[in-house]
Amino acid sequence: MSGYPKGNVLIGCSVIAFALITLLVWIPSDTATGIVETVRRRTVIGDAMAPSLAALFLLVGGLLLLTAERRAASQPLPSREAVVFALQIALILVVSLLLMRWTGPLAAALAGEEYRLLRDSYPWKLAGFILGGTVMVAALLVLAEQRLSLRVLVIALAAVIVLVAIYDLPFDDLLLPPNGDV
């Protein structure tokens, strides 16, 4: 790809901007508790822990991508390929997040149930996260490999299941996205 370094600068800047907006605007306005809370002398994970860690990892990744490009300041505008690539990534993220947000409520509505009452019970609490997350990882892999395969789908589903195992299973009071807002 002829615009590879310029594309890295565009992606790095986009990731840094997204991470900073998430850390400084979205998380403080969308979470009821901080990163760690003490309730009755018991320390528990606050609502802001998981998204803050994710945003920090994105911020570090964006900074590493920018610092890896030694000639970033002298590069002209990103190439058309780099802009198209960044837009494809943005589209994948938007579609995946919409799937995450609406899969559970739509499934509950089709079953004649009210999602708000079911959002902390299985399988409702995982429906959107698993579908949206699997689509996100699979689509990003397809974009990187330029082909869809069963291997890509298995890797995507496995990655999402590992995230569920890390974040959902150990904590009784943690709701995976988007259940805290629904």
**Domain co-membership, 169 together with 90:** yes
Radius of gyration of the chain (CA): 19
Inform me whether the pLDDT recorded for 72 exceeds 90.
Answer: no
**Domain co-membership, 86 together with 165:** yes
**Domain co-membership, 2 together with 66:** yes
Inform me whether the pLDDT recorded for 14 exceeds 70.
Answer: yes
The last residue of one of the domains, among 78, 101, 133, is 78
Q: For residue 147, what pLDDT is reported?
A: 93
**Domain co-membership, 89 together with 71:** no
Backbone dihedral angles phi then psi of residue 174, each to the nearest 5 degrees: -105, 125
**Strand partners of residue 42:** 39
How many structural domains does the chain have?
Answer: 2
Q: For residue 146, what pLDDT is reported?
A: 92
**Domain co-membership, 54 together with 30:** yes
Q: For residue 86, what pLDDT is reported?
A: 85
Band of the pLDDT at 74, cuts 50, 70, 90? low
**Strand partners of residue 44:** 37
Inform me whether the pLDDT recorded for 44 exceeds 80.
Answer: no
User: What residues make up the domain containing 51?
Assistant: 1-78
Q: For residue 179, what pLDDT is reported?
A: 64
**Domain co-membership, 99 together with 176:** yes
**Domain co-membership, 118 together with 165:** yes
The last residue of one of the domains, among 33, 48, 78, is 78
Percent of the chain with pLDDT over 90: 30
**Domain co-membership, 167 together with 99:** yes
Q: At what angle do helices 124-145 and 150-167 cross, to 10 degrees?
A: 140
**Domain co-membership, 1 together with 22:** yes
The last residue of one of the domains, among 53, 78, 103, is 78
- Structural contact between residues 56 and 42, judged by C-beta atoms closer than 8 angstroms: no
How many CB atoms within 10 Å of residue 116? 11
- Structural contact between residues 5 and 72, judged by C-beta atoms closer than 8 angstroms: yes
**Domain co-membership, 59 together with 39:** yes
**Domain co-membership, 18 together with 72:** yes
**Domain co-membership, 97 together with 150:** yes
CB-count burial class (<10 Å; 0-12, 13-18, 19+) for 140: middle
